A and B are shown apart, each in its own frame.
Chain A
Amino acid sequence: MATSTPIPLLFRVLRLLAGLQYVLSAVGVVFMLAFSLYDLTRPHDLAFITLQRTAAAQGQLGETQADSLLASHRPGLHYFVAKSNQQRLIYREPNTSKRLVLNLLGVNNSSLGRSSLALTLFSMLTGRMLFHMLRDLRLDTPFTELNARRIRGLALLMIGIDVYEFLAVNALRILVPAFPLGDGAAGTVTPYLILDPSLGGFGSWKFGLVLLVIAAIYQRGVQMAREAELTI
């Protein structure tokens, strides 16, 4: 009978952290859903979008642009609040169902900081997969079909979160009406919208693709392990 190799301390610590991430994110998902629904009943609900004045080169609002926007602005659905070097475009949506969609997209984050339902769900699922993977890991037989599937799942999640972000930003542009800029030539501010709790071009799809390749190699490892098992 072969003695099992003990799991290294690092793996045990990671397993603990992944478990914590899973549980806390699960609580977060429940809270996020509850908040999105509760928020609808409040009379002063606001979705807001941050416009950065400092990074005009990256498609954000330039200093002069922002000033002319402020000068020409007449109160309506949108109004501005200054926040250090940023202008916060506060947007009031009168339609309840539209507000729910905006809340679920993560536009309204007045109480939760940088987060959204999708991100919390992503965090929960990755934490869960990592925890289960490290829990079932045996160093004597590391290649299992289940773990191969989990790595593939993680890869698809990482690609999925970026696809989601892309769709969410576009949905946001459709949902939020255009707002004319002061000088006219710059068009509207909607092309400059930031989905506040977005990953900010994290580019996790690249990691996802790498992980897909690793999953394919791991799958071959599973086949080889099965062959080795049947070698007498």
Chain B
Amino acid sequence: MPIVVNLDVMLARRKMSLSALAAAVDITLANLSVLKSGKAKAIRFSTLEAICKALHCQPADLLEYVPDT
């Protein structure tokens, strides 16, 4: 998929673990892992909002468009 989720990069920058984020945004660790690994098909605005709030970032910091070659 040409949309890449850079959640791991943001987590590293904020020095936050995935489980800490899961607790902060009230999303199961399993679901966050799906998002991080790029297996997710879609992301809800509410989820995006919660993650941006917890990581003090913009949606563009989390999502990136890389065209398929």
**What is the interface of chain A, defined by CB distance below 8 A to chain B?**
227, 230-232
B14 on the A face (CB < 8 A): no
Give, as a whole number of angstroms, the nearest-CB distance from A3 to chain B: 15
B residues in contact with A227, CB < 8 Å: 41-42
Residue of A nearest to B35 (CB): A232
Query: Could you say which interface size class chain B belongs to?
Result: 10 to 19
Give, as a whole number of angstroms, the nearest-CB distance from A174 to chain B: 57
A residues in contact with B42, CB < 8 Å: 227, 230-232
Interface string of B12-27 (1 = CB under 8 A from A): 0000000000000001
List 22 interface pairs A-B (beta carbons < 8 Å), by A numbering: A227-B41, A227-B42, A230-B34, A230-B39, A230-B40, A230-B41, A230-B42, A231-B40, A231-B41, A231-B42, A231-B43, A231-B44, A232-B27, A232-B31, A232-B32, A232-B34, A232-B35, A232-B40, A232-B42, A232-B43, A232-B44, A232-B47
Interface centre among B31, B32, B34, B41 (most CB of A within 10 A): B41
14 extra interchain contacts, Cβ-Cβ under 8 A, other than A232-B27, A232-B40?
Answer: A227-B41, A227-B42, A230-B34, A230-B39, A230-B40, A230-B41, A230-B42, A231-B43, A231-B44, A232-B31, A232-B32, A232-B42, A232-B43, A232-B47
Q: Which of B18-69 contact A (CB under 8 A)?
A: 27, 31-32, 34-35, 39-44, 47
Cα-based distance from A227 to B35 in the complex (angstroms):
13
A residues in contact with B40, CB < 8 Å: 230-232
B residues in contact with A231, CB < 8 Å: 40-44
Give, as a whole number of angstroms, the nearest-CB distance from A232 to chain B: 5
Cα-based distance from A114 to B44 in the complex (angstroms):
59
Which 7 A/B pairs are nearest by Cβ-Cβ distance?
A230-B41, A231-B42, A232-B35, A232-B40, A232-B31, A227-B41, A232-B43
Give, as a whole number of angstroms, the nearest-CB distance from B30 to chain A: 10
A residues in contact with B47, CB < 8 Å: 232
A residues in contact with B39, CB < 8 Å: 230
Cα-based distance from A227 to B34 in the complex (angstroms):
13
Cα-based distance from A108 to B47 in the complex (angstroms):
68
